């Protein structure tokens, strides 16, 4: 392990292979970072498929907490994970996170009561901020010329996860119920621990003071968590209900208070001076909005696929989960392939232009999905167009952040992007359900959605993507990490 030094200029993780070529060591390093990062996406798909089994096993009407508990804990802890990574090195923090994640999923799988399941999921939530550190670790451990390409491959591999996870979920749950999905997550997270421990070198420390801003972290994490919780519950409580408004108000007050708290802290948990820079603010906001659409829309499309087709009552396609998995292979393969292709060219072309092109294609794609989604062929063609753009977005977002922050600020940038994706994701999901509810039919207490509602949730995704594109057009030229991170040359004579 590389010894820590009191200066960020030394004590760096080994960065061999500086000629910018891929080597077996770098391939293994990328796998060690990509596996646990994309396990977060796989966990979301497996968890969504396990939810019905949990509800039936414990006869609970509060099954929403099965997923929400993990999300809330992850949101609360993200600011602390960013700071701890800078203080103690990202590898140590990632190891602690994966160990707790495996422990939590195992506890949930063994639980004999619903509340113990929730306790396990809360512990598993410690693993949630992993992505805030893994993309930053790429900047620390890869040769500068490969940072953009490696980040792009890591981001685009979510398409590969989306290809296999629905089939994996069906096999696990059909054979072993919801516990099978949880045991798989526990084992896969334990494997992630081994990969990180054996293949990821220690990363440099960028914060060397002894102070830790616990108050700022609690105020920021608590504020974000309150907003996410209110948005997640707003549809069931009612958007004008006192509980919803109370949680939203408390979250807003906490976030405003955070701005004042950080001004007085000697060692703030987030450097607000970095976030006040226009390129950083634009890149994080645009990246958060675009990735939210890329990650959230496919999940919402599952509603269209799986809800029954009842003329005049429900405009779903009435597919089985297995049939949906088979059909969705097409657009998920497009997303993965596009991401891989784009990641190869990020180092040769202006990443900002590639990013904007991806946003334009994704906006056009989801506009088309809104108009044409009533048959398999229509949904395949329009979704493939949308996922060409989504592949560019998930591959390009890490390069966008790399291009506006310094190496020392990479953890902060990646962490803030993660927090914004969580926040925007909760808001977009709640907004989509509100749109669906406005055009629904209730039969024996169950809401069925009509076609206008499905069209508008895809058009909503297109509008959010368009907003991200407008912001992206005014982002100034990006930095090249290959130039910024390269070691200084010999002095001139």
Helices (H), 63-213: 64-88, 90-110, 114-124, 130-141, 147-156, 158-199
Across the range 215-226, mean pLDDT stands at 82
Which tens digits make up the pLDDT trace of 228-258? 778 767 767 887 888 989 999 998 998 888 8
Give the least confident one: 140-144, 207-211, 279-283, 379-383.
207-211
Identify whether the C-beta of residue 83 lies closer than 8 Å to the C-beta of residue 415: no
Which among 467, 454, 459 has a CA at the least distance from the CA of 368?
Answer: 459
- pLDDT reading at 130 higher than 70: yes
Among 98-107, 123-132, 153-162, top mean pLDDT goes to 98-107
Contact 257, 219 (CB under 8 A): yes
d(CA 476, CA 128): 31
Q: Which residue has the higher pLDDT, 86 or 94?
A: 94
Distance CA 327, CA 335 (A): 14
Residues 6+ apart with CB under 8 A from 432: 296, 300, 457, 460
CA angle, residues 236, 53, 312, in degrees to nearest 5: 55
- The pLDDT tens digits of the residues spanning 11-37 come to 444 444 455 688 889 999 999 998 998
Helix, strand, coil percentages in the chain from 3-state DSSP, rounded to 5: 75, 0, 20
Section 113-141 average pLDDT: 89
Tokens representing residue 402 in the block: 């790399």
Q: Do 151 and 144 contact (CB within 8 A), yes or no? A: no
* Per-residue confidence (pLDDT) for residue 489, from 0 to 100: 47
Percent residues over pLDDT 90 in the chain: 29
């Amino acid at each position: 392990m590389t010894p820590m030094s009191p200066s960020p200029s030394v004590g760096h993780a080994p960065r061999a292979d500086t000629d910018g070529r891929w080597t077996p060591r770098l391939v293994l390093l990328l796998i060690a970072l990509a596996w646990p990062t994309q396990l977060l996406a796989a966990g979301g798909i497996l968890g969504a498929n396990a939810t019905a089994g949990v509800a039936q096993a414990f006869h609970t009407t509060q099954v929403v907490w099965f997923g929400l508990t993990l999300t809330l804990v992850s949101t609360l802890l993200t600011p602390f994970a960013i700071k701890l990574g800078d203080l103690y090195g990202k590898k140590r923090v990632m190891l602690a996170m994966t160990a707790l994640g495996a422990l939590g999923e195992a506890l949930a799988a063994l639980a004999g009561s619903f509340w113990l399941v929730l306790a396990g999921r809360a512990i598993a939530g410690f693993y949630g901020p992993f992505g805030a550190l893994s993309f930053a670790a790429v900047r620390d451990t890869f040769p500068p010329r490969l940072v953009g390409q490696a980040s792009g491959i890591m981001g685009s591999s979510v398409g590969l996860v989306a290809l296999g996870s629905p089939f994996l979920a069906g096999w696990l749950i059909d054979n072993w119920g919801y516990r099978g999905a949880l045991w798989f997550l526990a084992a896969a997270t334990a494997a992630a621990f081994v990969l990180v421990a054996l293949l990821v070198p220690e990363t440099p420390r960028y914060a060397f003071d002894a102070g830790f801003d616990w108050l700022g972290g609690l105020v920021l994490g608590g504020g974000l968590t309150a907003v996410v919780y209110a948005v997640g519950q707003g549809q069931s409580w009612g958007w004008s209900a006192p509980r919803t408004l109370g949680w939203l108000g408390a979250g807003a007050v906490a976030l405003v208070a955070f701005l004042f708290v950080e001004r007085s802290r000697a060692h703030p948990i987030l450097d607000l001076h970095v976030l006040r820079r226009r390129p950083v603010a634009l890149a994080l906001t645009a990246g958060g909005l675009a990735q939210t659409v890329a990650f959230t829309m496919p999940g919402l499309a599952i509603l269209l696929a799986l809800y029954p087709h009842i003329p005049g009552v429900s405009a779903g396609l009435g597919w089985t989960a297995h049939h949906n998995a088979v059909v969705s292979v097409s657009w998920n393969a497009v997303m993965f392939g596009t991401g891989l292709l784009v990641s190869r060219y990020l180092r040769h072309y202006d990443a900002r232009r590639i990013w904007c092109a991806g946003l334009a294609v994704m906006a056009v794609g989801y506009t088309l999905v809104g108009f044409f989604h009533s048959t398999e062929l229509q949904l395949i063609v329009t979704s493939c167009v949308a996922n060409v753009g989504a592949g560019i977005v998930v591959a390009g977002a890490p390069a966008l952040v790399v291009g506006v922050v310094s190496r020392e600020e990479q953890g902060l940038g990646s962490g803030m992007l993660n927090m914004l994706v969580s926040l925007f994701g909760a808001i977009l999901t709640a907004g989509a359900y509100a749109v669906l509810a406005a055009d629904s039919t209730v039969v024996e207490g169950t809401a069925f959605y009509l076609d206008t509602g499905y069209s508008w949730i895809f058009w909503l995704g297109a509008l959010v993507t368009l907003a991200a594109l407008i912001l992206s057009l005014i982002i100034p030229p990006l930095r090249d990490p290959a130039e910024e991170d390269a070691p200084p040359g010999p002095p001139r004579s």
